[in-house]
Amino acid sequence: MALTEQPESIGVAAGVSIRAVGLGLQTRRGPVFSNIDLTAAEGDIVCLAGPAGTGRTSLSLALCARMKFSSGELSVAGKPLPANQRWLRKISTISPGSGFGDLDDGLRVIEEIRRAYWMAGRHRRSGAAQTVAAAGLIGRERTLIRDLPASDIQRLNIACAFVDDSRLVVISDIGSGVRAADQPELWELVEFFSKATGATTVVTSIESNPARGVADQIVELADDRSLETLPGGESL
Amino acid sequence: MIRLFGLSFLELRRYRRSDLGRSAIVAVILLPLLYGTVYLIAFWNPYDNLASVPAAIVNSDKPAKLQGQTVQAGKDLKDGLVAGKSLSWNVTTDAEAEQGLETGKYYYVIKIPENFSGSIASLGSKNPKIAVLSLTTNDANSFLTSLVGDSVASQMQSQLGQTIIQQFVETTLNGISTIRSNLETAATGSAKLAGGTKTLSSGSKQVASGAKQVASGDAELASAADVARGYAQDAERRSDQLVATAAKFARANPGDELAADLLAAARRVNGVIDDVADKIIATSRKIDQLGAGAQELATGARKLSVGAAKINSGAQQLAKGLNSGVGQIPNWSPGQATNLANHVSAPVAVKQVTLNNTGTYGAGFAPYFMAMALWVALLIVFMLLEPVPGRVLLAPRMSALGVTLVGFIPVVIVTVAQVVVLLTVIHFGLDISPPLWAYGSLFVFLALVAGTYAAIIQLLGAVFGVAGRLVALVLLMLQLCSSGGTYPIQMSPVFFRTISPYLPMTYAITGIRHLLVGGQVGPVIKSVVVLMAILLIALSLSVLHVATHRKLKVIDIKPEISM
């Protein structure tokens, strides 16, 4: 339904290529992620899949310079990091839902969208309507976030991530709280926006299956992490 | 029961497992110690540090004379106070002192009036005047100075009593007693003299009148002798005439025996009369001489009498004068002497004046509590709102300044509402009612204070994360002790005096105090300028921190402790 509508062109943002070799992050409390290899072309959709505690959120943040890494190499659009981190931060966006900067329970749908637009430095109302439509939330603009079902929250997360018109978009935990059966829809939405804007999209997820057919790259994170235990048996 | 204890221990044990958790528990345990010791150290004995509290002396005294000696009580008092260091005394002019008191440069002003020495010199007289000093404080500077002023005043009075007046008056009293007894002796002696000369005088008067009588009796005698001489001379003349006549008759009648007998008889009579007349004349001359001598005697006796009378009157005057002199010297009975001594031992009254009097203890402390309440309020606001909102921090198109302001402005909006509440409570709760226009400036100033606090606590939250609230709490304690809200800051130890000018609460209290009690504009403006500077610096530092910390740490997405 909403998917068939083309969003008003918000400017064609060229995507970025990503190249990571042996990327890792080690903290005092142990490794967060290690030995990650990834190659993505402009406009690709990348899936980082793994259960909770495997460092996929940290990895996705590292790929857009919101978290530092301690080993390996990373270059985005040919520019190496961490030298170009400021540049990378300016051209990349993270969706709400990572646990840091989530949608606010007390706000309404339309208010969160406006927030996204204001943070992007844009004031066009018509863009907001488009985004509402794209997220499939027409008629529910005044619904409070806390009253939205999980799938709608995820749709809104995705929609808000693309408001910035960034070249690299990170979607955090796409399937969080959503039944397996409803997840393909979310992936379609990601594909829709990614194609429309041309942005390279990195999506973290528990399951990799729903990503097949949509994602151009899939990185499984289960193996490395599950072999290690942290002191005290706590999860990260 | 064991279950409950077991569960309780587990509640605590989970904090042992992480560094931050352990630090948190330790910090929490030490918190009261921090507050208690800091506060106790700051106010352990404020009166020990009175010597650092700045004060002004204005000496308008004019020296006076007492018994030929110059009394400079004003200068002596001034020197004594400066050397005694009961406060940090500065000698100034009247205008300088008043200006200093209004702006808070001086906490106390003592004025020594013109007639100070004069009043002290009047102590030994019949109308002793008490010398009145004035001690002025200003509640716009600090409320407790007027209370502390009591002890300052009594210190001064005892200083005066001990070092200057007591000795002085003792000497004077002793000297006066000596003089009096000497005078008494003189008076007694002169009384005797007066008695003697009186006798002399009356005696010489009698002599004089006696001599006069002699002289006058003699004068009578002399005049009688004159008369006799006159008769004698007359008789001589007549007898001479008789002889001459007889001679003539005899010549006319020569041979006349009768005529010759007559002539002879006449001659014989004439001779006798001549003898008698001579004798009479000689006697009258002697009587004259006697009269002259008696006259001299009378004159001399009269002079003697006059002189003696003069001496007598002089002696009488002397005696009278001495008596009246003795009478003028106060003769204190023991009761009177004690009374005078009490009078004299507190010859100086200190009149205490409080500018911008706030009246009650509560009103005097209102600025302190208001400034403190705002800090606590801001602390709590930052428990609800994020110092650095996460979503905007991550947003690509948001500048560091934008992120900082999105964290700052909502807090300011909330605190404006808090300030309105505070002002309402002040208005209805306190007995000081500033004029209506003052509420406007008070509102603006409090908003500025709140904004400054917000900027600081935001910075602490940005830099220290969750622990920033703890740092803010520590800062609260330090400021409570170093902002001069209770005692003047000079009465606290050096550490607190040193940090005082760098902490916002110092300026918040100064400004609120002057605005509430209607003090001077100068200190308010100074506070405004400093607070704005602190605000801008804190905000700038926050922006700087945000600009360099737009990345997350693992801890940010999986926090170990939450406060």
B562/A234 Cα distance (integer angstroms):
17
User: B107 versus B35: which is more confidently predicted?
Assistant: B107
User: B156 versus A119: which is more confidently predicted?
Assistant: A119
* pLDDT tier at A45, thresholds 50, 70, 90: very high
In the predicted model, what is the mean pLDDT of residues B498-522? 86
State the residue for tokens 């345990």: B29
For A70, which DSSP code? S
Could you read off the pLDDT of A209-226 as tens digits, one per residue?
888 888 888 888 865 443
Q: At what angle do helices B400-429 and B436-464 cross, to 10 degrees?
A: 140
* pLDDT tier at A22, thresholds 50, 70, 90: very high
A72/A32 Cα distance (integer angstroms):
13
Q: Is the peptide bond before A82 cis (omega within 30 degrees of 0)?
A: yes
In the predicted model, what is the mean pLDDT of residues A153-157? 95
Could you read off the pLDDT of B174-201 as tens digits, one per residue?
667 777 777 777 777 777 777 777 787 7
What is the three-class DSSP state of A46? strand
Provide the shortest C-alpha distance from residue A134 to chain B (in Å). Answer: 21
DSSP string, B286-319: HHHHHHHHHHHHHHHHHHHHHHHHHHHHHHHHHH
* pLDDT tier at B64, thresholds 50, 70, 90: confident
- How high is the mean pLDDT of chain B? 80
What is the three-class DSSP state of B248? helix
A88/A16 Cα distance (integer angstroms):
10
Q: Cβ contacts (< 8 Å) between B551 and chain A: which residues?
A: 61, 65-68, 85
Provide the shortest C-alpha distance from residue A187 to chain B (in Å). Answer: 23
Q: Are the beta carbons of B558 and A98 separated by less than 8 Å?
A: no
Q: Cβ contacts (< 8 Å) between B397 and chain A: which residues?
A: 90, 119-121, 164
3-state secondary structure B489-509: HHHCCHHHHHHHHHCHHHHHH
Q: Are the beta carbons of A67 and B395 separated by less than 8 Å?
A: no
Provide the shortest C-alpha distance from residue B390 to chain A (in Å). Answer: 5
Provide the shortest C-alpha distance from residue B413 to chain A (in Å). Answer: 19
Could you read off the pLDDT of B270-292 as tens digits, one per residue?
888 788 778 877 877 877 777 67
B312/B199 Cα distance (integer angstroms):
9
Give the residue numbers in B contacting A (CB under 8 Å), as ranges: 17, 389-398, 550-554, 556-558
Tokens read off for B11: 């509640």
Q: How many CA atoms lie within 13 A of B159 on its CB side?
A: 19
Q: Is A92 on the interface with B (CB under 8 A)?
A: yes
Q: How many CB pairs under 8 A join A and B?
A: 60
Q: Is A136 on the interface with B (CB under 8 A)?
A: no
B46/B491 Cα distance (integer angstroms):
5
Interface test with A, best of B13, B552, B555, B556 (most A CBs within 10 A): B552
Q: Cβ contacts (< 8 Å) between B390 and chain A: which residues?
A: 100-101
User: A202 versus B362: which is more confidently predicted?
Assistant: A202
Long-range contacts at B332-340 (CB < 8 A, ≥ 24 apart):
B337/B173, B340/B128
A37/B369 Cα distance (integer angstroms):
60
B359/B371 Cα distance (integer angstroms):
20
User: B81 versus A83: which is more confidently predicted?
Assistant: A83
Q: Are the beta carbons of B558 and A236 separated by less than 8 Å?
A: yes
* pLDDT tier at A44, thresholds 50, 70, 90: very high
Name the nearest CA neighbour of B86 among B161, B167, B148: B148
Residue B358: what pLDDT?
A: 63
Of the listed ranges A48-52, A99-103, A217-221, B203-207, the least confidently predicted one is B203-207
pLDDT > 80? residue B562: no
User: B328 versus A99: which is more confidently predicted?
Assistant: A99
The closest CB to that of A119, out of B397, B553, B556, belongs to B397
Residues belonging to chain B? 563
Q: Are the beta carbons of B551 and A92 separated by less than 8 Å?
A: no
Q: Cβ contacts (< 8 Å) between B392 and chain A: which residues?
A: 119
Is residue A18 within 8 A of residue A60, CB to CB? The reply is: no
Interface test with B, best of A32, A114, A118 (most B CBs within 10 A): A118
Residue B135: what pLDDT?
A: 85
ipTM for this prediction: 0.85
Residue B197: what pLDDT?
A: 76
What is the three-class DSSP state of A134? helix
State how far Cα B72 lies from the chain centre: 12
pLDDT > 90? residue B365: no
What is the three-class DSSP state of B371? helix
pLDDT > 90? residue A91: yes
> Which residues, other chains included, contact B170 with Cβ-Cβ below 8 Å and sequence gap of 6+?
none
Q: Cβ contacts (< 8 Å) between A61 and chain B: which residues?
A: 551-552
Is residue A112 within 8 A of residue A95, CB to CB? The reply is: no
Q: Is A89 on the interface with B (CB under 8 A)?
A: yes
Q: Give the highest mean pLDDT range of B94-98, B129-133, B169-173.
A: B94-98
User: B276 versus B418: which is more confidently predicted?
Assistant: B418
Q: Is A93 on the interface with B (CB under 8 A)?
A: yes
In the predicted model, what is the mean pLDDT of residues B500-508? 92
- For B355-435, where are the alpha helices, taking DSSP H only? 361-384, 390-394, 400-429
pLDDT > 90? residue B37: no
Residue A189 burial (CB < 10 Å; 0-12/13-18/19+)? buried
Interface test with B, best of A64, A100, A236 (most B CBs within 10 A): A100
Of the listed ranges B60-64, B164-168, B304-308, B446-450, the least confidently predicted one is B164-168
Name the nearest CA neighbour of B509 among B479, B538, B539: B479
Share of chain A above pLDDT 90, in %: 54
Q: Give the highest mean pLDDT range of B117-131, B261-275, B315-329.
A: B261-275
In the predicted model, what is the mean pLDDT of residues A169-182? 91
* pLDDT tier at B458, thresholds 50, 70, 90: very high
Phi, psi for residue B47 in degrees, rounded to 5: -70, -15
pLDDT > 70? residue B86: yes
Is residue B368 within 8 A of residue B436, CB to CB? The reply is: no
Phi, psi for residue B281 in degrees, rounded to 5: -65, -45
Cα distances (Å, whole numbers) of residue B175 to B117, B168, B172, B328: 19, 11, 5, 15
* pLDDT tier at A5, thresholds 50, 70, 90: very low
Q: At what angle do helices A125-134 and A183-197 cross, to 10 degrees?
A: 140
B502/B483 Cα distance (integer angstroms):
10
Residue B169: what pLDDT?
A: 59
Q: Cβ contacts (< 8 Å) between A65 and chain B: which residues?
A: 551
Tokens read off for A148: 């939205």
Could you read off the pLDDT of B203-252 as tens digits, one per residue?
777 877 777 777 677 777 777 777 777 877 887 788 888 888 878 888 88
Q: Are the beta carbons of A89 and B396 separated by less than 8 Å?
A: yes
Q: Cβ contacts (< 8 Å) between A230 and chain B: which residues?
A: none
Q: Cβ contacts (< 8 Å) between A102 and chain B: which residues?
A: 391
Is residue B162 within 8 A of residue B139, CB to CB? The reply is: no
User: A77 versus B264: which is more confidently predicted?
Assistant: A77
In the predicted model, what is the mean pLDDT of residues A108-126? 84
Residue B174: what pLDDT?
A: 63
| CA angle at B281 for the pair B277 and B285, rounded to the nearest 5° | 170
Residue B165: what pLDDT?
A: 59
Q: Is A90 on the interface with B (CB under 8 A)?
A: yes
